[in-house]
Chains A and B, each alone.
Chain A
Amino acid sequence: MPQDERLIELISGSLDDALTSDEEAELEAALAASAEARQLAAELRQDRQALRGLPKLVTPESLKQSTLVKVRAAEPPVSSRPWQRVLLLAASMALVVGIFNTFRFSKATATTLYLSPGRLTMRTDSLSQELHLSAGGGTSSHTMVSENVSGEFLRGKTARVHLLGDAGAVPGGKLAVRLHFDFDGDGQVDLHSPSRVIEVDGTVGYQNLVCAFPPMEGMKDLRNGTVHLEIACETGPPLKLRLDPQQARVELPFAGLKAQAS
Chain B
Amino acid sequence: MGQNSNFEDVYEEHADFVYSLSRRLSRGNADAEDLFQEVFLRVHRFLPKFQGGSVRGWLRRIVVNTNSSLKRGKKNQAVAHLDEMEGWKESIADSGETPDEAAERTSTREGLEHALAHLSEDFRTVLILREVEDLDYSEIAEVLNVPVGTVRSRLARARMALRKELEEATTIAAG
Listed in ascending order, the chain A residues whose CB lies under 8 Å from chain B are 5, 8-9, 11-13, 15-16, 18, 40, 43-44, 47-48, 50-60, 63-64, 66-68, 70-71, 74-75, 77-80, 118, 135-141, 143, 145, 176, 178, 180, 184, 186-189, 192, 195, 228, 230, 232, 234
User: Are A187 and B16 neighbours in the complex by a CB distance under 8 Å?
Assistant: no
- B residues 1-41 near A (Cβ < 8 Å) are 7, 11, 15-16, 18-20, 23-24, 33, 36-37, 40-41
With the chains together, A51 CA to B95 CA distance in Å?
16
Q: Is the CB of B162 within 8 A of A77?
A: no
Q: How far is the CA of A225 from the CA of B115 in the complex (A)?
A: 37
Q: B160, A57: Cβ atoms under 8 Å?
A: no
Give chain B residues whose Cβ lies under 8 Å from the Cβ of A187. 42, 46, 61-62, 65
CB-CB under 8 A for A71 and B16, given A16-B137, A137-B157: no
Chain B residues near A78: list those with CB within 8 A.
Answer: 45-46, 48-49
| Pairs across A and B, CB under 8 Å, 21 listed | A15-B159, A16-B137, A44-B160, A48-B131, A50-B108, A51-B112, A51-B128, A54-B24, A54-B109, A55-B95, A57-B23, A57-B93, A58-B92, A63-B19, A67-B37, A67-B40, A71-B7, A71-B11, A71-B41, A136-B157, A140-B122
Q: Does B166 contact A (CB under 8 A)?
A: yes
Given A44-B163, A47-B162, A74:B19 Cβ within 8 A: no
The dominant DSSP class at the B interface is: helix
Judge whether B41 and A57 touch: CB under 8 Å.
no
Name the A residues within 8 Å of B155 (CB-CB).
12, 16
Query: Which residues of chain B have C-beta atoms less than 8 A from A139's C-beta?
Result: 120, 122
- Looking at chain A's contact residues, the main secondary structure is mixed
Known: A47-B166, A58-B16, A77-B45. Contact between A70 and B37, CB under 8 A? yes
Q: Which A residues touch B41, using CB under 8 A?
A: 70-71, 74
Known: A51-B132, A74-B45, A80-B48. Is A13-B112 also a contact (CB below 8 A)? no
Query: Smallest distance from the beta carbon of A34 to chain B beta carbons, Å?
Result: 16
Which residues of the partner chain B approach A18 to less than 8 Å between Cβ atoms?
137, 152
**Residue B117 CB within 8 A of the other chain:** no
| Cβ contact within 8 Å between B90 and A60 | yes
Q: Which 6 A-B pairs have the closest CB atoms?
A: A79-B48, A12-B156, A51-B131, A59-B19, A57-B20, A9-B156
Q: How far is the CA of A9 from the CA of B7 in the complex (A)?
A: 42
